[in-house]
Structure 1
Amino acid sequence: MYSQKAIVSRGTTCYTTENNSVVKFTWASGKRTAEVDHLTQAKEKGVKGVAGIVAHHRIATIAEIRKKLKFPTAHRFQNGADDPSLASTSTSISGNKRKSSSSATDTVSRSNKRQRSDSQKLNRKLSTQPSSSTSKTKPALSAPSEDLWEDRIYSCLVISPAGRVISEFTDIKQLLESMRDAIKAHQSLFVTGKILHRDISPNNIIITDPETADSLKGMLIDLDMAKAQNSGPSGARQITGTIQFMAIEVLRNIDHTYRHDLESFFYVLLWMCGRQSWYNGFSGNKKAPQESVFQQWEIGSFSQIAMNKKGNMSVTFEIVLEQFPEKLKVLEPLCWKIRDILFPYHEKGIIIGTPEGDPEQLYRPIIAAYEEAITDLYRLQHR
Structure 2
Amino acid sequence: QVAGIVAHHRIATIAEIRKGLQFPTAHRFQNGADDPSLASTSTSISGNKRKSSSSATDTVSGSNKRQRSDSQKLIRKLSIQLSSSTSKTKPTLSVPSEDLWEDRIYSCLVISPAGHVISEFRTIEQLLEPMRDAIKAHQSLFLTGKILHRDISPNNIIITDPETADGFKGMLIDLDMAKAQNSGPSGARQITGTIQFMAIEVLRNIDHTYRHDLESFFYVLLWMCGCQSWHNGFSGNKKAPQESVFQQWEIGSFSQIVMNKKGNMSINFEIVLEEFPEKLKALEPLCWKICWKIRDILFPYHEKVIIIGTPEGDLEQLYRPIIAAYDEAITDLYRLQHR
Instruction: Flag whether TM exceeds 0.5 (same fold).
Output: yes
- 1:238 deviates by 2.1
Do structure 1's residue 339 and structure 2's residue 334 form an aligned pair?
Answer: no
Q: CA separation in 2, counterparts of 1:259 and 1:207?
A: 23
Cα shift at 1:145: 6.0
Q: Residue 56 and residue 83 in structure 1: after superposition, are their counterparts in 2 closer, same or farther (change >3 A)?
A: closer
- CA deviation after TM superposition for structure 1 residue 128, in Å: 8.3
* Contact 2:51/2:74, CA 8 A, preserved across alignment: no
- In structure 2, C-alpha distance between the alignment counterparts of 1:121 and 1:99, rounded to whole Å: 10
Shift of residue 316 of structure 1? 0.5
Tell me which of 311, 319, 324 is aligned to 1:368: 324
> 1:354 Cα deviation (Å)?
0.4
Task: Using the TM superposition, name which of 221-230 and 100-109 deviates more.
Answer: 100-109
- The number of residue pairs the alignment matches comes to 334
8 Å CA contact retained: 1:194, 1:228: yes
The alpha-carbon deviation at position 239 of structure 1 amounts to 2.4
Preserved CA contact (<8 Å) 2:6 2:110 = yes
For residue 11 of structure 2, give the secondary structure of its aligned residue in structure 1. Answer: strand
Separation of aligned partners in 2, 1:142 and 1:255: 13
- Cα separation, partners in 2 of 1:375 and 1:219, compared to 1, 3 Å: same
Structure 2 unmatched runs, 5+:
none
CA contact (8 A) 1:76 1:133 kept: no
Matched-pair contact (CA < 8 Å) for 1:124–1:238: no
Preserved contact between residue 55 and residue 231 of structure 2 (Cα < 8 Å): no
On the 8 A contact 2:44/2:80 being kept in 1, the answer is no
Is residue 74–residue 148 contact of structure 1 (8 Å, CA) maintained in 2?
A: no
Aligned residue runs from structure 1 range 33-112, under 5 A:
50-69=2-21
Shift of 1:214: 0.5
Give 1:288 deviation, angstroms.
1.1
Is the 2:46–2:78 Cα contact (8 Å) retained in structure 1?
no
Q: Give 1:329 deviation, angstroms.
A: 2.8
Tell me the CA shift for residue 124 of structure 1.
13
User: Does 66-75 or 289-298 show the bigger shift?
Assistant: 66-75
Report the 3-state secondary structure (helix = DSSP H, G, I; strand = E; otherwise coil) of the residue aligned with 1:213: coil
Gap change, CA 1:135 and 1:98, over 3 Å in 2: closer
Assess if the C-alpha contact under 8 Å between 1:251 and 1:302 holds in 2.
yes
1:204 Cα deviation (Å)? 0.4
The structure 1 segments of at least 4 consecutive aligned residues displaced by more than 3 Å after TM superposition are: 67-145, 147-150, 330-334
Distance 1:60 1:236, change over 3 A: same
Which deviates further from its counterpart, 329-338 or 362-371?
329-338
Structure 1 equivalent of residue 304 of structure 2: 348
Q: Secondary structure at the match of 2:101?
A: coil
* Residue 237 (structure 1) shift: 3.0
Change (3 A) 1:345 1:184: same
What is the rounded CA distance, in whole Å, between the counterparts of 1:360 and 1:172 in structure 2? 26
RMSD: 6.9
Q: Deviations over 1:333-358 (max 9, x none)?
A: 56000000000000150000000112
Cα distance 1:323–1:232, how it changes in 2: closer, same or farther (>3 A)?
A: same
Q: Partners of 2:116 and 2:51 in 1: how far apart?
A: 22
Deviation at 1:59, TM superposition (A): 2.5
On the 8 A contact 1:68/1:140 being kept in 2, the answer is: no
Counterpart residue number, 1:184: 136
CA–CA distance in 2 between the matches of 1:378 and 1:53?
Answer: 34
Q: Identity rate of aligned residues, in percent?
A: 92
Deviates more, 1:156-165 or 1:136-145: 136-145
Structure 2 counterpart of 1:242? 194
